[in-house]
Structure 1
Amino acid sequence: MTLYSSLFLIGLLIMASAFFSVAEISLAASRRLRLRQMADDGDAGAERVLRVQEQPGDYFTVVQIGQNAVAILGGIVGEGALSPYFTEFFALWLSESSALTAGFLSSFLLVTSLFILFSDLFPKRLGMAMPERLAIRVSQPMAIGMTLMRPLVWFYSRLADAVFRLLGLSSLRDDRITSDDILAMMEAGAVAGVLAAREQQVITNVFELDTRTVGSAMSPRDRIAFFRRDDADAVIRLRIAAEPFSTYPVCEGDIDHIVGYVDAKDLFQRVLNNQPISLADDSLVRKVLIVPDLLTLSEVLEQFRQAHEDFAVIVNEYSLVVGVVTLNDVMSTVMGDLVSPFDEEQIVRRDENSWLIDGMTPIEVVLHALELDHLPHAEDYETLAGFLMVMLRRVPRRTDSVSWGGYKFEVLDVDSYRIDQVMVTRLSQPVAPGAAVVAAD
């Protein structure tokens, strides 16, 4: 065999090996969602690739048979075709035995390098760059190869299946998509510039609805504007003017005995028509939705859907009212600062390393603002005030502070045992992870 015919044969073997490399990596890297979309658009090749992904055993068997056979042939042809020429070249300076060794090594390194570059690295990078398109292109030739090598494919596939069964492993591809997968895709999209950072945050907030409790979005008990059933017309009108809200709970005596709620639109209509306002009128007071404080935001949304309501009163295990929540509160949690300045009202960034935070700020909002993953004993509280109470083991007083996770949380103002303002400062020398420093007055 002449040098040119040997080089031509080596080139063919490299092309064959590159084909099998592309076939392997493109099938493994193809995104099932993208293939399904292409198949729904009428691409028969995409449908064929989807079927192969469900049972890829025979496909990869053909790939491995082809790659190993080509590699062996490439070594035989390369060594026999190129070694004599390298040996003759090195014989000009070396002894015969040394020239033979140098010629063999040079031939081996050259052929191996050509295979690594053109049948492995380049085709695999190409397959990763456009997996679906290449998987469709090679699917038909690979189907022909599986048919031609049916006996070998059957033999090796059954052996591989036996090994999987022996080890108790599954050879089926798991295509289930979890919320973590979607969030990772969103993060990658944001890094690539395909998804805006705020849009990514909205999607993240949607998935957090299943883990965030209703307490993180509610208006707490001390901020509820409510009416008593026997309030006079003048009292109702004054409260509407002083505390304008869209919905007001109606109580018998005190806030823990809520009998319903009244919509501000109904009150305004009576005011505009110069009609007296009496909450003893059952047509004005609507039935209120009561939900426990252990529900997640996702469960609250489902309660709203079933009751056809957008307002609910939240009670604890002792049937005491702890807050109220509206559909708008939940959606503001999802949309963040895209639609509501709520977070900005509760958290004011003073400078690069300090924040002024309302004590009733939900702990999830605090974590997000401070870029913290968690705070200790997170299951015992829902607000920043609760965090300080748990860490101090008592009702905090002014100047009390807690240092944790590289931040110092200092109480600035307390009003009737309620923590109004907390100064959070980033420490120059962070506290060791898991350690906390409590300073009490």
Structure 2
Amino acid sequence: MSLFQNIVIIILLIIGAGFLSLTEIALAGARKVKLKILAESGDARAQRVLDLQANSADFFAASQIGLNAVAILGGILGEGAFRPYFLALVNRFYQGPWAETIGFTLSFTLVTSLFILFADLMPKRLAMIAPEKIAVSVIDPIQIFIKVCKPMAWVINAIANLLFRLFKVNTTRDDNITFDDISAVMDAGAQAGVLQKQEHHFIENVFELEERNVPSSMTTRENVVYFTLKESEASIRQKLAEFPYSKFLVCSENIDDVIGYVDSKDILVRILNNQSLLQLNENTIRNVLTIPDTLTLSELLDRFRSTKEKFAVVINEYALVVGVITLSDIMITVMGDWVTPIEAEQQIIKRDANSWLIDGSTPIEDLKHALGLDEMPDEENYETLAGFMMYKLRKIPRPADFVSFNGYKFEVVDVDHFKIDQLLVTRLQETLNDTIPEEESD
């Protein structure tokens, strides 16, 4: 064949190899979520791409058959077509024993470079730009190509499957989407400007509802305001004026003898109608939802939805009341300061760039958000910052006791009747590795 014919054949081989490389990357990189959206919108080609991804063995076998056959044929034709011309060029400057080798090397380098650039590198980079769009566009011709290569592909796949079984290699693809996958997509969306900062924060908090337990968002036992059956009218009026809550527990004598709850609206109606409040009765007391403290916030939302309630009492394994929680508390957990009442006391106060005053009852998840920590040590053993201190110190902390962890110093500032009220958290100047053994003052 003439040089022109060889060049035309090589160009056709490069185009064929480029098409296979483009298709291989596009079909492998096409995201299932986007393909499903296209399929649901009526694009039948997108569904065929999904089907091919689910059974990709025949495609990859056919693709490798085509790519390797084209590469070998291109090398043979290229070397035979270009070597005489390179040899003639070399003989003008050098006619020694190495002339044949130099001519072969130059022709091999030229053909290899052409295939690497136009049949491999450029098609693959183009496929990575819009894999779903390209995969949908090439699905029809590639299915024809797969049918042509079916007999040889079947033999190759049979041998490959036999070897996989022999070496006990699991070839099943795991397509389950984890929270880390979704979080990575959200982070990418935030960096690209698709998600605003507050939207990103809200979405993260929604997913955390599956991990956060009820105690992380409830009003703790010592802060619960409740009425007793013998509560005086003056006391009821005072509590209504002092605490702007919409619901109050009603107990027999102490907080662990829960009878139900009253809605402040019902009491205000009685006041407006000049009715006596000397005795709370069944007309005003409602049945209260009681839940264990082991529920997650997501499970509690399901309970609220099924019972049509918005208020619940939280009890522990000893049937003691540990707190109360409302639907608003869950919303505050999701939306943070956007729905937190102005009069509510801040649990985390940033003093400067490297120090915070933090309430001991602050949930660990809120602490990690504020300090930018990914995890706390053995955090399954506690739920609040006070619990973290007690777990690390192995005692009831006193003022000036401290723990150092991951470049932060957690120092107890105030303790009230064994309760850690406030801590000073300081970012250390030197980055610390892992957990430093806890230290405590004398």
TM class, shorter-length:
over 0.9
Q: TM-score, normalised on structure 2?
A: 0.95
Structure 1 counterpart SS, 2:435: coil
Change (3 A) 1:391 1:170: closer
Matches of residues 49-198 of structure 1 in structure 2 within 5 Å?
49-198=49-198
Structure 1 residue 331: Cα displacement: 1.9
Structure 1 residue 430: Cα displacement: 4.2
Greater alpha carbon shift after TM alignment, 130-139 vs 264-273: 264-273
Q: Indicate the RMSD between aligned Cα atoms, in angstroms.
A: 1.8
**1:7 equivalent in alignment to 2:41:** no
> Residues of 2 paired with 1:383 and 1:173: CA distance?
39
**Cα offsets for 1:239-270 (capped at 9, x unmatched):** 10011111111111111111111112212222
Greater alpha carbon shift after TM alignment, 150-159 vs 213-222: 150-159
Matches of residues 384-403 of structure 1 in structure 2 within 5 Å?
384-403=385-404
Greater alpha carbon shift after TM alignment, 35-44 vs 201-210: 201-210
Matches of residues 7-26 of structure 1 in structure 2 within 5 Å?
7-26=7-26
Answer yes or no: is the 8 Å Cα contact 1:25–1:127 preserved in 2.
yes
Q: Which residue of 1 aligns with 2:421?
A: 420
Answer yes or no: is the 8 Å Cα contact 1:226–1:249 preserved in 2.
yes
Structure 2 counterpart SS, 1:437: coil
Matches of residues 189-338 of structure 1 in structure 2 within 5 Å?
189-338=189-338
Structure 1 residue 440: Cα displacement: 2.6
Answer yes or no: is the 8 Å Cα contact 2:13–2:70 preserved in 1.
yes
Structure 1 residue 411: Cα displacement: 1.7
**1:369 equivalent in alignment to 2:393:** no
Structure 2 counterpart SS, 1:410: strand
Structure 2 counterpart SS, 1:436: coil
Structure 2 counterpart SS, 1:182: helix
The residue type equivalent to 1:91 in the other structure is N
Structure 1 counterpart SS, 2:367: helix
Structure 1 counterpart SS, 2:396: coil
Structure 2 counterpart SS, 1:420: strand
Structure 1 residue 176: Cα displacement: 2.2
> Residues of 2 paired with 1:424 and 1:193: CA distance?
32
Structure 2 counterpart SS, 1:438: coil
> Residues of 2 paired with 1:215 and 1:77: CA distance?
74
> Residues of 1 paired with 2:2 and 2:279: CA distance?
105
Change (3 A) 1:346 1:109: same
Q: Which runs of 5+ in 1 are unaligned?
A: none
> Residues of 1 paired with 2:107 and 2:243: CA distance?
88
Greater alpha carbon shift after TM alignment, 84-93 vs 377-386: 377-386
Greater alpha carbon shift after TM alignment, 221-230 vs 338-347: 338-347
> Residues of 2 paired with 1:344 and 1:241: CA distance?
18
Answer yes or no: is the 8 Å Cα contact 2:363–2:383 preserved in 1.
yes
Q: Which residue of 2 aligns with 1:408?
A: 409
Structure 2 counterpart SS, 1:282: coil
Structure 1 counterpart SS, 2:156: helix
**Cα offsets for 1:195-221 (capped at 9, x unmatched):** 223222222222222221111101111
Change (3 A) 1:172 1:439: closer
Change (3 A) 1:56 1:50: same
Structure 1 residue 339: Cα displacement: 2.8
> Residues of 2 paired with 1:310 and 1:172: CA distance?
45
The residue type equivalent to 2:204 in the other structure is T
Greater alpha carbon shift after TM alignment, 118-127 vs 176-185: 176-185
**1:438 equivalent in alignment to 2:424:** no
> Residues of 2 paired with 1:201 and 1:341: CA distance?
19
Answer yes or no: is the 8 Å Cα contact 2:392–2:438 preserved in 1.
no
Answer yes or no: is the 8 Å Cα contact 2:202–2:335 preserved in 1.
yes
Q: What count of residue pairs does the alignment treat as equivalent?
A: 441
> Residues of 1 paired with 2:145 and 2:65: CA distance?
10
Q: TM-score, normalised on structure 1?
A: 0.95
**Cα offsets for 1:49-88 (capped at 9, x unmatched):** 1111111111111111110110011101110111111111
> Residues of 1 paired with 2:316 and 2:261: CA distance?
19
> Residues of 2 paired with 1:121 and 1:321: CA distance?
66
**Cα offsets for 1:80-138 (capped at 9, x unmatched):** 11111111111111124322211111111111111111111111111111111111222
Change (3 A) 1:242 1:341: closer
> Residues of 2 paired with 1:189 and 1:341: CA distance?
30
> Residues of 2 paired with 1:392 and 1:172: CA distance?
47
Greater alpha carbon shift after TM alignment, 98-107 vs 20-29: 98-107
Structure 2 counterpart SS, 1:439: coil
> Residues of 2 paired with 1:357 and 1:147: CA distance?
67
> Residues of 2 paired with 1:107 and 1:405: CA distance?
59
Structure 2 counterpart SS, 1:244: coil
Answer yes or no: is the 8 Å Cα contact 1:279–1:285 preserved in 2.
no
Structure 1 residue 361: Cα displacement: 0.8
TM superposition outliers: structure 1 runs of 4+ over 6 Å: 341-344
> Residues of 1 paired with 2:270 and 2:30: CA distance?
64
The residue type equivalent to 1:308 in the other structure is K
Structure 1 residue 433: Cα displacement: 1.4
Structure 1 counterpart SS, 2:373: coil
**Cα offsets for 1:279-320 (capped at 9, x unmatched):** 531010111111111211112112222222111111111111
The residue type equivalent to 1:140 in the other structure is D
Answer yes or no: is the 8 Å Cα contact 2:407–2:428 preserved in 1.
yes
Change (3 A) 1:393 1:165: closer
The residue type equivalent to 2:264 in the other structure is A
In percent, how many aligned pairs have the same letter?
Answer: 50
Structure 2 counterpart SS, 1:313: strand
Answer yes or no: is the 8 Å Cα contact 1:39–1:46 preserved in 2.
yes
